[in-house]
Amino acid sequence: MSVVLAKGAEATLFLEQWYGMRVVRKHRIQKRYRVESLDKRLRRERTIREARTITAAKRAGVPTPIIFSVNVEAATIIMEHIKAHRLKERISVLSSNKRQRIFNQIGKSVALLHQTHICHGDLTTSNLLLHASGKIYFIDFGLATTTQSVEDLGTDIHLLRRALYSTHHIFWEGCFNAFKTGYQNKYGIGASRILRKVEAIESRGRYITERIR
């Protein structure tokens, strides 16, 4: 049994049976528009980075799928199938209380990532899975980096804010405030420096938009 679960820009994901378990196989597909050697290198690098970071994130206390097997040459990762919905699809049907609790939890998890120097690189509600237990699983670490730079970590949060603003416009502010509370509580001292950077990045963007207008 193998069914296509999702088809993204970089990868195709299959739902499969593997030693009697239901797993997800993420296969980074060849991109014809890229020079072959470069394409191969990118797919290998992102596969390794993703598998490593998913495991490091789990060690830091952030819910992520278990990695069962990695095939660098084939650019595939076999991981635990999380029976969950993408947060993107659930956000508008949740009660406002539940939404707040979830974004508080996301803030805590991102603080754990950042304290471990992991910058996710693509924090959107398509890369967050909401399990029936209420737990939020983090996926899609192919663009993750290891960094302590306040600018990088601020950008990570800025991307989430932008995703909320554009995709979930009615709720974005409540969600983002709950996120910041969770982030600050978990990160503790030092969080305000990163959150101030988020504001600075935001106003830089506004300034540019106004200049273009």
Q: Which is nearer to Mg ion, 78 or 139 (CB)?
A: 139
What gap in Å lies between CA 146 and CA 144, rounded to an integer?
Answer: 7
If one asks whether residue 82 binds ligand ADP (CB under 6 A), the answer comes out as yes
Task: Encode burial over 136-165: b for 16+ CB neighbours within 10 A, e otherwise.
Answer: bbbbbbbebeebeebebbbbbbbbbbbbbe
* Residue 24 contact, options Mg ion, ligand ADP, none, Cβ 5-8 Å cut-off depending on partner type: ligand ADP
Which one of 40, 44, 49, 86 is in contact with ligand ADP (CB under 6 A)? 86
3-state secondary structure of 129: strand
Of the candidate residues 6, 21, 38, 208, the single one contacting ligand ADP (CB under 6 A): 6
Q: Which residue has the tokens 């539940």?
A: 98
- Distance of closest approach, residue 140 Cβ to Mg ion, in angstroms: 4
Considering only residues 101 to 160 of the shown chain, the ones binding ligand ADP according to CB under 6 A are: 126-127, 139-140, 142
Q: Of 122, 140, 152, 156, which residue is the catalytic one? A: 122
For residue 152, indicate whether it is catalytic. Answer: no
Of 8, 61, 134, 205, the one binding ligand ADP (CB under 6 A) is 8
> How many residues of this chain interact with Mg ion, rule: CB under 5 A?
2
Tokens 């509580």 correspond to what residue?
Answer: 185
Max CA-CA distance within the chain?
58
DSSP string, 40-102: HHHHHHHHHHHHHHHHHHHHTT---PPEEEEETTTTEEEEEPP-EEEHHHHGGGS-HHHHHHH
In the complex, least distance from residue 1 CB atom to ligand ADP, rounded to whole angstroms: 15
Q: How far apart are CA 212 and CA 124, in angstroms?
A: 26
Q: Minimum Å distance from CB 62 to Mg ion?
A: 16
Residues of this chain that interact with Mg ion (CB under 5 A) are 127, 140
Residues of this chain that interact with ligand ADP (CB under 6 A) are 5-6, 8, 10-11, 13, 24, 26, 65, 79-82, 86, 126-127, 139-140, 142
Which residues are identified as catalytic? 122
